[in-house]
């Protein structure tokens, strides 16, 4: 994997670059639709590529390990062939999912024991096993196995958690470096900076991660309960240390405003379930604010869903019709909203890139943040 830093904003830390993988080139800053179980919910691969303009999507190690299972993915020739996505893929290590199973998991030095949310069966994820699973899934970018510390954890817990994550990281790299890709193309391992909301821990973690010389680096453990301003502060602390010639990936974040604030602070890559999850609940994001499609105000509004939207659904369907779909619980409503929101997120990071290149990012971003905060 190669990263080319092309442009740097003169007034902020915003940047534009190119990530080159064996499955294609990614223009940064970029948002990555989440395909947790090998599928971006309610969206076809053709729509992802041709309408939404996704350049890279995610899969999740925990979920794919449980279903369909690693043996099926191996027989298929990896996730790319299994789900028919021929672009780059990134896999999360499952650390966040294990973290979310607080009542059904046990952490120790060897790894994380957990019970499946599907059938209660018992499993053990070690750093070595996770690397083997991610090799088999076959993503272009794979994540190190870590503990995702709660955003409200006290200092002692956060420090112990970081120590465990750092020891697991060494084991991830040892396993990764002693194994080969399975399907004839290269894979890159990204380490993850943890440390909760404590600057000294984040600095320690970032310095350790930077020392690994990885193809890219991730910032984890944010947007998990801490105040938004603390999240921005931690991004600044970490990005002062992470290499400037490698892509920076902020995991699991977030709202459209979160994306712009993080881009301003030097982040290149994002993922979040928000556009599809909120879309399935009737919330649409637009450049002028958010719309709740269940509201009565749209009942007889026959104007296009979004006159400035970039997806075909924005001009094909009216607000009144989409409201009707949600009120009657028709599956098409969930699909339209998901496609619209993903297309909007890809449009937003694409516009950020254009304004970074044009040299007016900070002015554009300031106005956009104000617009995005409206409720329509």
Give per-residue pLDDT as tens, 111-121.
Answer: 999 888 899 99
* Bond preceding residue 25 cis, omega within 30 of 0: no
Instruction: Please enumerate in sequence order all residues whose Cβ is within 8 A of that of 303, keeping only pairs 6 or more positions apart, or say none.
Output: 318, 319
Of the candidates 32, 14, 54, the one whose C-alpha atom is nearest the C-alpha of residue 358 is 14
Query: Are 225 and 243 in the same domain?
Result: yes
**DSSP-derived pairing of the beta strands 57-60 and 89-92:** parallel
| Strands of the sheet with 112-115, listed across from one edge | 105-107, 112-115, 122-125
Query: Are 163 and 117 in the same domain?
Result: yes
pTM score of the predicted model: 0.97
Q: What is the pLDDT of residues 341-358, one digit of tens each?
A: 999 999 999 999 999 999
195 is in an annotated binding site: no
Query: Are 192 and 294 in the same domain?
Result: no
Query: Are 375 and 251 in the same domain?
Result: no
The pLDDT of residue 27 is above 80? yes
Query: Are 285 and 267 in the same domain?
Result: no
Query: Are 195 and 234 in the same domain?
Result: yes
Query: Are 256 and 278 in the same domain?
Result: no
Average pLDDT of the residues in 259-280 = 98
The Cα-based distances of 145 to 134, 159, 286 in angstroms read 10, 17, 35
Average pLDDT of the residues in 278-289 = 98
Query: Are 201 and 279 in the same domain?
Result: no
Lowest mean pLDDT, pick from 91-100, 266-275, 305-314: 91-100
Contact 84, 153 (CB under 8 A): no
E strand map for 223-358: 248-250, 269-271, 283-286, 289-292
Sign of CA dihedral 80, 277, 250, 92: negative
Contact 30, 53 (CB under 8 A): no
Q: Specify the length of the chain in residues.
A: 376
The Cα-based distances of 46 to 83, 166, 169, 323, 332 in angstroms read 11, 39, 36, 25, 17
E strand map for 110-258: 112-115, 122-125, 141-143, 188-190, 192-193, 217-219, 248-250
Query: Are 178 and 205 in the same domain?
Result: yes
92 is catalytic: yes
State the pLDDT confidence band at 123, using cuts at 50, 70 and 90.
Answer: very high
92 is in an annotated binding site: yes
Write the CATH number for 47.
3.20.20.105
268 is catalytic: no
Of 252, 272, 292, which residue constitutes the final position of a domain? 272
Please give the pLDDT value at position 95. Answer: 77
The CB-based long-range contact list for 104-113 (8 Å cut-off, 24+ gap) reads 107/147, 107/164, 109/164, 109/167, 111/145, 111/168, 112/147
Structure tokens at 183: 């399907």
Of 257, 272, 287, which residue constitutes the final position of a domain? 272
Q: What is the pLDDT of residues 226-246, one digit of tens each?
A: 899 999 999 999 999 999 999
Please identify which of the residues 92, 140, 215, 306 carries the catalytic annotation: 92
Q: Which helix (H) or strand (E) holds 95?
A: helix 95-100
Please give the pLDDT value at position 102. Answer: 65
The pLDDT of residue 274 is above 70? yes
Mean pLDDT over each residue of the chain, to the nearest integer: 96
194 is in an annotated binding site: yes
Q: What does the alpha-carbon distance between residue 175 and residue 190 come to, in Å, rounded to a whole number?
A: 13
Q: What is the pLDDT of residues 203-228, one digit of tens each?
A: 999 999 999 999 999 999 998 888 99
Number of domains in the chain: 2
Please identify which of the residues 215, 268, 271, 306 carries the catalytic annotation: 271
Please give the pLDDT value at position 56. Answer: 98
Structure tokens at 228: 């938004």
Spell 187-218 as b/e; 16+ CB within 10 A means b: bbbbbbbbbbbbeebbbbbbebbbebebbbbb
State the pLDDT confidence band at 305, using cuts at 50, 70 and 90.
Answer: very high
221 is in an annotated binding site: yes
Of 272, 301, 327, which residue constitutes the final position of a domain? 272
**Domain assignment of residue 172, given as a range:** 2-272
252 is in an annotated binding site: no
The pLDDT of residue 298 is above 80? yes
Query: Are 69 and 200 in the same domain?
Result: yes
Please give the pLDDT value at position 149. Answer: 86
Q: What does the alpha-carbon distance between residue 263 and residue 302 come to, in Å, rounded to a whole number?
A: 36
Please give the pLDDT value at position 374. Answer: 97
Please give the pLDDT value at position 13. Answer: 98
94 is in an annotated binding site: yes
Please give the pLDDT value at position 137. Answer: 98
Query: Are 68 and 177 in the same domain?
Result: yes
Query: Are 321 and 295 in the same domain?
Result: yes
Measured in whole angstroms, the distance separating CA 187 from the mean position of its chain's CA atoms is: 18
Q: What is the pLDDT of residues 159-203, one digit of tens each?
A: 999 999 999 999 999 999 999 999 999 999 999 999 999 999 999
């Amino acid at each position: 994997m190669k990263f080319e830093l092309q442009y740097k904003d003169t007034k902020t830390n915003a940047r534009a670059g190119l990530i080159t993988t064996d499955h294609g080139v990614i223009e940064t800053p970029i948002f990555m639709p989440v395909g947790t179980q090998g599928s971006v919910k309610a969206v076809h691969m053709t729509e992802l590529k041709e309408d939404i303009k996704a350049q890279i999507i995610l899969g999740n190690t925990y979920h794919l390990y449980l279903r369909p299972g690693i043996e099926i993915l191996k027989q298929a020739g990896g996730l790319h062939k299994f789900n028919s996505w021929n672009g780059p893929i990134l896999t999360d290590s499952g650390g966040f999912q294990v973290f979310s199973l607080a009542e059904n998991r046990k952490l120790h030095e060897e790894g994380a024991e957990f019970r499946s949310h599907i059938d209660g069966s018992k499993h053990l994820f070690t750093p070595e096993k996770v690397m083997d699973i991610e090799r088999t899934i076959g993503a272009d970018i794979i994540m190190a196995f870590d503990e995702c510390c709660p955003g409200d954890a006290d200092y002692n817990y956060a420090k112990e958690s970081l120590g465990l994550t750092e020891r697991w990281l060494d084991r991830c790299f040892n396993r990764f470096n002693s194994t080969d890709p399975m399907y004839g193309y290269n894979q890159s391992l990204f380490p993850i900076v943890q440390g909760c909301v404590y600057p000294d821990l984040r600095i320690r973690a970032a310095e350790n991660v930077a020392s690994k010389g990885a193809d890219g680096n991730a910032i984890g453990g944010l947007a998990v309960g801490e105040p938004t301003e603390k999240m921005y502060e931690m991004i600044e602390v970490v990005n002062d240390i992470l290499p400037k010639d490698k892509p920076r990936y902020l995991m699991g974040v977030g709202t459209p405003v979160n994306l712009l604030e993080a881009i301003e602070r030097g982040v290149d890559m994002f993922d979040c379930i928000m556009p599809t999850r909120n879309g399935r609940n009737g919330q649409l994001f637009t450049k002028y604010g958010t719309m709740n499609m269940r509201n009565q105000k749209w009942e007889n509004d026959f104007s296009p869903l979004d006159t400035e939207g970039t997806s075909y659904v924005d001009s094909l369907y009216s607000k009144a019709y989409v409201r009707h779909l949600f009120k009657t619980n028709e599956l098409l409503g969930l699909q339209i909203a998901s496609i619209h929101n993903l297309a909007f997120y890809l449009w937003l990071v694409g516009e950020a890139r254009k304004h970074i290149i044009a040299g007016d990012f900070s002015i554009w971003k300031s106005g956009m943040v104000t617009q995005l905060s409206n409720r329509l």
